[in-house]
Amino acid sequence: MSFPVKEIPTKPFEGQKPGTSGLRKRVKVFQQEHYTENFVQAIFTSIAPLPNDFTLVVGGDGRFFSPETVQTILKIGTANGVKKFIIGHKSILSTPAASNVIRKYKANGGILLTASHNPGGPNADFGIKYNVSNGGPAPENVTDKIFAATKTISSYKVVEAPPVDLAKIGETTYGPAKVTVIDSVQDYVELIESIFDIPLIKKFLDTHPEFSVLFDGLHGVTGSYASRLFTKVLGLPESSIQNCVPLPDFGGGHPDPNLTYAKTLVDAVEANNILFGAASDGDGDRNMIYGKGAFVTPSDSVAVIADWAEEAIPYFSKKNGGVKGLARSMPTSKATDLVAKKKGLEYFEVPTGWKFFGNLMDAGRLSICGEESFGTGSDHIREKDGLWAVVAWLNILAYANSQSPNKLLGINDILQRHWSIYGRSYFSRYDYEEVSSEGAQKLVDALNKHLDASSLANKEFSSASTNEKYVVKEISNFSYTDPIDGSVSKNQGQIVEFTDGSRVVFRLSGTGSQGATVRMYVERYVAPDAGEKSLGAQASDGLKGLIEVALHLSNLKEFLGREEPTVIT
Ligand code: G6P
Ligand code: ZN
């Protein structure tokens, strides 16, 4: 069969700038004639000329508009010189699974069809993200080139070809290219089995049936992975998973694992006294750990995993090279820094966005990292990994219990032990979603003004409800110089530091698809000797005074015209 290449004339679209994690817009936007084609062509233009044996991985969270976009990528990719496509069965590959497939099969890159945790369906969001050969999101110099190409595009190339059957696993020829549709789950499960002490976890679960487990896929992509992992590999009953059939619209839900959007998990955990609950987001890279009466903040989660890793998780054992370094994104609490200091490990504070961890991992300086935005992961791939984090917690709990024959240890026991050693970083994030861009800009400008004039330094603010007093030490604007390639990322969020070590960070989201989203992150550290009462409070109580002060000094409510945040995590 011949596959003639056609050149289709087109015009640039405004605003095809890839954000923190690719281009995310409403499905309706992507459905405009030439819109998706332009962006896909821009990806290939930005990496042209393609090497002769260029291999591309394609897959995503299975959201609405994915199957047709895979066909678009096949046509445009082939016309631009891709020689081999590795495609997830039915267009499904979770983000961590895609990262693994790129690395394992030494592909040159991958296109991930996902808008992560944003809702899906004909009236919701779609996204296209380009990952490079290390399996991680394209760095800024690549996304800048893609954006530049979208602004000058005048035509795109396609081959005329019949669609590939994405439901059929196996290899087919596609004109000058080969297309392999792979089992989306197998490689990923093998990876997880190679990292964790699966026999120990199984033994623990087998001998402690009272340790109930529930994973909620929120109808995102992890359903496929979790059902194999939990029921087949770990031998748990079907009742240990729920909402694990991936749906193109995520069942109408918002597939984001936090206390607001993962309500199905929270309700089931509370109703059935589940000791270990967890959820993941639409594309499988985020996670939330939540058991009866126990919520692990993502900032604590990475610190706890880092603390136990070498002892409990085979991949990080001394024998396998040990833990190299730790890292967190700037707004994430400093709990992980404390673990690194105690263990004498190198640690890093990077801007928000997983891509910033990749260089450090490639350089062999980073093993475990995390972000407050429910992202946790390690150098086994170059994306964060929801199920990895869930299994890491199960591995740690299995190990801790193997050392505690007389008392069943749960999530809270692990947390309390951690705080009693390192102290606790109370942490919370307030999100103001889809506010006016103008108001958001005013908030940022006002903070920058204070920064320039040092007008808040040494000023004392007190909370009316708790009587706590906070004195501003310094305001700064976070800027990062990558220690590996020297690239500089400026304006990554404004930090208000107080003299007691507490801090508040203001940052504009880079992942929204409409208006602006402002995030306010608050952190207050309590030392390990502060006593059980001070260490074990609800985060909202531990942070009450600081939040009041933060809202007051920033004038946030006035600038944004919002009394309450949309989401609190
Ligand atoms: C994506 C990235 C994360 C990042 C998050 C930030 O999920 O993969 O690494 O933390 O976006 O989102 P935001 O909306 O705060 O820019
Ligand atoms: Zn995600």
List, for residues 230-283, the tens digit of each pLDDT value. 999 999 999 999 999 999 999 999 999 998 899 999 999 999 999 999 999 999
The CA 457 to ligand 1 mean position distance, Å, reads: 30
- At 460 the pLDDT is 86
**For position 260, what pLDDT does the model report?**
87
What is the whole-number distance in angstroms between the Cα of residue 506 and the centre of ligand 1?
14
Q: Work out whether the CA dihedral 350, 355, 265, 263 comes out positive or negative.
A: positive
Taking the C-alpha atoms of residue 559 and residue 446, their distance in angstroms, rounded to an integer, is 10
Ligand 1 pocket member 110 (CB < 6 A) = no
Residue 162 gets which letter from DSSP?
A: P
Residue 373: CB within 6 Å of ligand 1? yes
The pLDDT mean for the chain works out to 94
- Residue 320 near residue 361, CB atoms below 8 Å: no
Tell me, what's the pLDDT at 458? 84
What residue owns the CA closest to ligand 1's atom 3? 353
The ligand whose atoms approach the alpha carbon of 383 most closely is 1
Q: What is the pLDDT of residues 88-119, one digit of tens each?
A: 999 999 999 999 999 999 999 999 999 999 99
CA-based torsion, 560, 563, 566, 568: positive or negative: positive
Cis peptide before 49 (omega within 30 of 0): yes
Atom of ligand 1 nearest to the CA of 116: 7
Residue 3 pLDDT class (50, 70, 90 cuts):
confident
Q: What angle do CA 434, 435, 437 make, to 5 degrees?
A: 105
pLDDT per position as a tens digit, 389-426: 999 999 999 999 999 999 999 999 999 999 999 999 99
**Does 375 sit in the ligand 1 pocket, CB within 6 Å?**
yes
CA–CA gap between residue 504 and residue 502 (Å, rounded): 7
CA of 498 to the centre of ligand 2 (A): 32
Q: How many residues does the chain have?
A: 569
CATH topology of domain 5-183: Alpha-D-Glucose-1,6-Bisphosphate; Chain A, domain 3 (3.40.120)
Bridge partner list, 127:
24
**Is 116 close to ligand 1, i.e. is its CB under 6 Å away?**
yes
Q: Distance between CA atoms of 248 and 223, rounded to whole angstroms?
A: 12
514-567, pLDDT tens digit by residue? 778 999 999 999 888 877 777 888 888 889 999 999 999 888 888 888 888 998
- What CATH class has 188-422? alpha beta
Catalytic residue among 46, 116, 224, 502: 116
Q: Do domains 188-422 and 424-568 have the same CATH topology?
A: no
Mean pLDDT of 184-210: 97
Query: pLDDT tier at 1 (50, 70, 90 boundaries)?
Result: low
Confirm or reject: Cβ of 510 under 6 Å from ligand 1.
Answer: yes
Q: Is the dihedral of CA 196, 198, 203, 206 positive or negative?
A: positive
Give the tens place of pLDDT for each residue, 41-55. 999 999 999 999 999
- Nearest-atom index, ligand 1, CA of 507: 15
What pLDDT does residue 561 have?
86
* Beta-carbon contacts of residue 344 (< 8 Å; ≥ 6 apart): none
User: Could you tell me what percent of the chain has a pLDDT over 70?
Assistant: 99
> Which ligand is nearest to the Cα of residue 507, counting in written order?
1
Q: How far is the CA of 355 from the centre of ligand 2 (A)?
A: 13
pLDDT of 480 reads: 96
Alpha-carbon distance 297 to 104, whole Å? 32
Contact 26, 125 (CB under 8 A): yes
Q: Regarding beta strands 346-350 and 213-216, do their DSSP bridges make them parallel or antiparallel, or are they unpaired?
A: unpaired
- CA dihedral for 389, 134, 43, 176, sign (positive or negative): negative
For the question of whether the overall pTM of this predicted structure is more than 0.90, the answer is yes
pLDDT at position 388 is 98
Q: What is the pLDDT of residue 512?
A: 67
CA of 284 from ligand 2 middle (Å) equals 6
Ligand 1 mean position to 440 CA, how many Å? Answer: 18
pLDDT at 465 (0 to 100): 87
Given a cut of 90, whether residue 369 has pLDDT beyond it is yes
Is 315's pLDDT higher than 80? Answer: yes
DSSP label at 565? Answer: -
Any idea of the CA torsion for 372, 378, 380, 383, to the nearest 10 degrees? Answer: 20
User: Which helix or strand (DSSP H or E) is residue 121 part of?
Assistant: none
Helix (H) or strand (E) run with residue 492 in it: none
- With both helix axes pointing from N to C terminus, report the angle between 95-104 and 186-195 in degrees, rounded to the nearest 10: 90
Query: Using an 8 Å Cβ cutoff, are 306 and 389 in contact?
Result: no
488 vs 70, higher pLDDT: 70
Q: To test ligand 1's pocket by mutation, which of 21, 129, 256, 258 has the most ligand atoms within 8 angstroms of CB?
A: 21
Ligand 1 pocket, 519 CB below 6 A?
yes
Does ligand 1 come within 6 angstroms of the Cβ of 333?
A: no
Q: Are strands 488-489 and 480-481 parallel, antiparallel or unpaired?
A: antiparallel
Residue 328 structure tokens: 């967190």
Does the beta carbon of 21 sit less than 6 angstroms from any atom of ligand 1?
yes
541 vs 299, residue with greater confidence? 299
**Cβ count near 412 (within 10 Å):** 16
Q: Which amino acid is at 103?
A: R
For 52-79, how does the pLDDT look when each residue is reduced to its tens digit (9 = 90+)?
999 999 999 999 999 999 999 999 999 9
List Cα–Cα distances, 414 to 212, 226, 308, 394, 548, in angstroms: 17, 24, 10, 11, 30
Which of 511, 519, 521 to mutate to test ligand 1, by most ligand atoms within 8 A of the CB atom? 511
Residue 88: closest CA among 4, 196, 179, 209: 179
Number of helical (H) and strand (E) elements in the chain, helices listed first: 19, 27
Site to probe by mutation for ligand 1, drawn from 373, 385, 508, 518 as the one with most ligand atoms within 8 Å of Cβ, is 373
> Strand, helix or coil at 474?
strand
Q: How far apart are CA 261 and CA 500, in angstroms?
A: 33
Q: pLDDT digits over 441-469, tens only?
A: 998 888 888 788 778 788 888 888 888 88
CATH of domain 424-568: 3.30.310.50
pLDDT tens figures, 142-159: 999 999 999 999 999 999
31 is written with which tokens?
């459905």
Task: Map out the domains of the chain as residue ranges.
Answer: 5-183, 188-422, 424-568
- DSSP 8-state class, residue 319: G
502 among known catalytic residues: no
Q: What is the pLDDT at residue 500?
A: 85
Other CB atoms within a 10 A radius of the CB of residue 541 amount to 10
Radius of gyration of the chain (CA): 24
373 CA from centroid of ligand 1 (Å): 7
Neighbouring residues of 564: CB distance < 8 A, sequence distance ≥ 6:
none
Parallel/antiparallel/unpaired status of strands 503-508 and 375-378: unpaired
Q: How far apart are CA 453 and CA 239, in angstroms?
A: 59
Q: 3-class DSSP state for residue 310?
A: helix
CB distance 62 to 30 below 8 Å:
no
